[in-house]
Amino acid sequence: MSEPVLQCENINRFFGGIHALKGISAEIQQGEIFGLVGPNGSGKTTLVNCITGFYAPQRGQILFEGKQINGMRPHRIAANGIARTFQNVALFKGMSVLENILMGRHIFMNPNPLAALFYPFWAAKEEVAHRRKVEQIIDLLQLESVRDEHVEVIPLGLQKRVELARALCAEPRMLVLDEPMAGMNQEEKEYMVRFILDAQEELNLSVLIIEHHLDVVTSICDRVLVLNDGNKIAEGPARTAMSDPEVVAAYIGGQAHAA
Partner 1 sequence: MSGLALSNVEVVYDKVFLAIKGVSMEIKEGEMVALLGSNGAGKSTTLKAISGLLGPERGDITRGEIRFGDTDLRSLGAPARVDRGLVHVLEGRRVFGHLTPDENLVAAYRGGRAERSFEELRDEVYRYFPRLKERARSKAGYLSGGEQQMLAIGRALVTEPKLIMLDEPSLGLAPVLVAEIFSIIREINRKHGLTVLLVEQNAAATLEIVNRAYLIENGQIVMSGEAATLKANPDVQEFYLGSGGKVDYHAIKHYRRRKRWLA
Partner 2 sequence: MAYFIELLVNGALVGLMYALAALGFVLIYKSAGVPNLAQGALVMMAAFLVWYLGSLGLPIWIAILAGAALMFGFGLLVERLLLRRMVGQPVIMVVMLTLGMEILLRGLIPGVFGASPKSIDLGIGLAPVIVADVFMNRAYLIGGLVALLLIGASMLFFRTRLGTKLRAVSDDHVASWAVGLSVERAIGLSWGIAGIAAVGAGVLWGSVQGVDWTLSTLLFPAIAVVILGGIDSIKGVLVGGLAVGILGSVIPGYLDAYAGGSTRDVVTSVIILLTILVRPHGIFGREDIERI
Partner 3 sequence: MFYRLSGVRHTSYPAARQLWPIAADRWQVGVLALLALLAPLLISDLYLGSYALPWLIWTAAALSLSLLMGLGGQLHFGFAAVMAIGAYSSIHLARGGVPFEFALLGGGLTAAVIGTAFGAAALRVKGLYLVMATLAMQYLVDWVISNVPAISGGAQATLRTPEVSFLWIPIDSLDARYYVALLWTVLMTLFFLNVKRTSFGRALAAIRDKDFAAAVIGVDPFRTKLTAFMTASFAGGVSGAILAFCYYGAVTPEQFGFNVSIQLVAMVLVGGLGSVVGGYLGAGFVLLVPIVLTNLIAGLGAAGWFSISQNLTAHLPLIFYGGMIIGFLLFEPLGLAKIYDNIRKYFLVWPFRHSGS
Ligand X SMILES: Nc1ncnc2c1ncn2[C@@H]1O[C@H](COP(=O)(O)OP(=O)(O)OP(=O)(O)O)[C@@H](O)[C@H]1O
Nearest alpha-carbon partner for 165 in 109, 237, 246, 83: 83
Minimum distance from CB of 38 to ligand X (Å)?
Answer: 6
Nearest alpha-carbon partner for 7 in 57, 45, 42: 57
Minimum distance from CB of 241 to ligand X (Å)?
Answer: 16
CA atoms within 13 A on the CB side of 7: 10
Burial (0-12, 13-18, 19+ Cβ within 10 Å), 106 = middle
Which residues bind to partner 3, rule: CB under 8 A? 52-54, 73-75, 78-79, 83-84, 86, 90-95, 99, 102-107, 109-113, 115-117, 119, 123-124, 126-128, 131, 166-167, 170
The span from the CA of 158 to the CA of 142, in Å, is: 10
CB closer to partner 1 out of 120 and 254: 254
Partner from partner 1, Mg ion, partner 3, none binding residue 188, C-beta < 5-8 Å depending on class: partner 1
Minimum distance from CB of 193 to partner 2 (Å)?
Answer: 24
CB closer to partner 2 out of 45 and 100: 45
193 touching partner 1, by CB under 8 A: yes
Quote the Cα angle for 190-191-192, to 5°: 90
CB closer to Mg ion out of 49 and 70: 49
Is residue 49 a contact partner of residue 77, using CB atoms and an 8 Å limit?
Answer: no
49 touching partner 2, by CB under 8 A: yes
DSSP 127-144: HHHHHHHHHHHHHHTT-G
Is residue 161 a contact partner of residue 145, using CB atoms and an 8 Å limit?
Answer: no
Partner from Mg ion, partner 3, ligand X, none binding residue 20, C-beta < 5-8 Å depending on class: ligand X
Which residues bind to ligand X, rule: CB under 6 A? 15, 18, 20, 38, 40-46, 87, 153-156, 183
The span from the CA of 160 to the CA of 178, in Å, is: 10
Where does this chain bind Mg ion (CB under 5 A)?
45, 87
Where does this chain bind partner 2 (CB under 8 A)?
45, 49, 54, 86-88, 90
